[in-house]
Structure formats: C-alpha cells, structure tokens
Structure 1
Amino acid sequence: MKNKLHMQKLSVGTEGIADLAAWQATPRAQTADGLARHITRMWPKRADEILGGGSIYWVIKGEILCRQQIARFDEVIGSDGIRRCAIVLHPELVPVTPTIKRPFQGWRYLQASDAPSDLTKARKGEETLPSELSAALAEIGVF
C-alpha cells in the first residue's frame, strides 16, 4: 500500500488551534456546503496522492499543532480572473504532537512517515501540556 501524502501550511495570524477553528467558521472561509476551505495560488500536482486520506498539517506560531483531513480540491476563479485552488477540509481539527517547523511560503508536501502523530485524548480530569513543553519533550525524543 502506498504511503499517504499530506500537505503542510502556515496558519498566519492565528495564536492557536481555537483561533484557526474560529477563522474557519466564518462565511468567508467556507464553501457553499459549509466545509472550511483555504485558497491558494498553486494547484497540487500530486493531488491524487493526497485525496482519500491525506491531511493538511497546520503550522501555528512555528509548530505543527494540528491536522485536518482534506476532502477535495475545488477550482476558484478570483475577481482578477486567475484560477486558484481551494483546499476543502473536513471540520475536525486533530491535535498532533507539536513539531517545530521553520517558516516557509505557500504549502509543502509532507510524507506520512514524516508527519507528527495524533495526540491521544486526555483522560478525564487530566490537563493537556502547554505547547512549549510538548515541543521541548518532542525535541528530546520523549514524544
């Protein structure tokens, strides 16, 4: 079986996962069927490898903090007549092991073998670790 291919993208201007969710809930960030979307200039050449299980991993303040499964890619023609790609996303934001990421422009492909693992849900009454502490633990190999 082929490894899934994912994407990674900076979430500019958001402070955390809750900010990303709030932005995606705005009408401007949604498709006609109510799913979140992110519009980008470039169409992924490897779209077929992403669809059917690939996710977008969101980089927030220098760390990959969560992912969203990609539902489809829609063509969007801007008011300037330029063809763009809308990355249409399933609603669930899944927290992942915080992973430090240097800034980059646009989006990048991410091999499944390089993708951070999903965080397990905290047990009842258990607090989640601050992202800085999680990132430090991940950096030394604890996570």
Structure 2
Amino acid sequence: MPKHVNLIKLSVGTENVEDLAAWQALPQAQTADGLPRHITRMWPKREDEVLGGGSIYWVIKGVVQCRQRILRLDEVQGSDGIRRCAIVLEPELHRTVLAQKRPFQGWRYLKPEDTPADLPRGRVAEEPLPPELSAALAEIGVL
C-alpha cells in the first residue's frame, strides 16, 4: 500500500500540456534554483505523505492530462505579508491517461488508487486529440 498522497489542481488558462510547460519555464514561475513551482495559499496538512512520493496532477480543459512529482514545499511570503506555500516540482511533465474532472477550487488530495496511470512511452509522442473530443471520450471512459 503506497504511503504517499497526490494533489490535483486545475491549470487555469492553459490550453494543453505544452502551455503548462511554457508557463513553468518563465522565471516568475520558478524557484531561485530554477525548478518550477506553484504558489498556493493553503499548506498541505498531510505534508509528509505529499513529500513521500506524491505528484501534482494537472487538470487542463476539464481533463487530467499530466502530472509532476512534488520535490518539496517552500514557504514564501507575498508583498501583502501573507505566508504561502510554493509547491516545488520536478521539471518533467509526465503525460497521463486522460481522465475527466469537474471544476473545483484550489487543490485537492488525490489518493494513489484514484490517480490516472501514466501514458505508455509509445503513446507520449502521439498528436493530442482536440480538447472537446478528449473530454467526451474521457467522460464515457474510453480514454
């Protein structure tokens, strides 16, 4: 039984995995050591489980499309003086089997048994389906 838990998060404003990668390549989306990060208001209470092998699964256009391994959690303070959590990520985006996901706010915990599998290596290079078709196929459980 895995001793870790994953996170799931909407990637607002991105059209596809390539958009997410491009955003994460910008200096404002990186830590001082050049790793991608996502800043959030809430610090995971289950920090040890998240850092014990967890990933963040990205929902793009209503469909889980990829994941990134979570490396660490850094405390950052905004110009407003509020403490926030920077989820520091492995740079590599692992494409997953597509899975439909309804909108939600913030991030949520995602049990390992509820996570979409990584795509087999041979399918990673395939041309992605249009988002509407991907969403429709994922909704009926075909993808």
Structure 2 residues not aligned, in runs of 5+: none
The C-alpha deviation readout for 1:78-124, integer Å capped at 9, x for no partner, is 1110000000000000000110000000000000000000001226x
> Who is 1:48 aligned against?
48
Native 8 Å contact 2:3 2:52 kept in 1: no
Give the count of matched residue pairs. Answer: 142
Q: Is 82-91 or 127-136 further displaced after alignment? A: 127-136
Structure 2: how far apart are the matches of 1:20 and 1:105?
18
- Which residue identity lines up with residue 14 of structure 1 in the other structure? T
- Which residue identity lines up with residue 32 of structure 2 in the other structure? A
Structure 2: how far apart are the matches of 1:126 and 1:85?
35
- Which residue identity lines up with residue 74 of structure 2 in the other structure? D
Question: By how many angstroms is 1:141 displaced?
Answer: 4.3
Structure 2: how far apart are the matches of 1:80 and 1:136?
42
Structure 1 residues not aligned, in runs of 5+: none
Question: By how many angstroms is 1:53 displaced?
Answer: 1.3
The C-alpha deviation readout for 1:30-59, integer Å capped at 9, x for no partner, is 000000000000000001001131000000
> Who is 2:69 aligned against?
69
The list of structure 1 runs, each at least 4 consecutive aligned residues, that deviate by more than 3 angstroms after superposition, is: 125-143
Q: Output the TM-score relative to the length of structure 2.
A: 0.89
Q: Output the TM-score relative to the length of structure 1.
A: 0.89
Aligned-partner SS, 2:122: coil
Q: After the TM superposition, which residues 1-143 of structure 1 pair with which residues of structure 2 at under 5 Å, given as runs? A: 1-122=1-122, 130=130, 132-143=132-143
Percentage of pairs with the same residue: 70
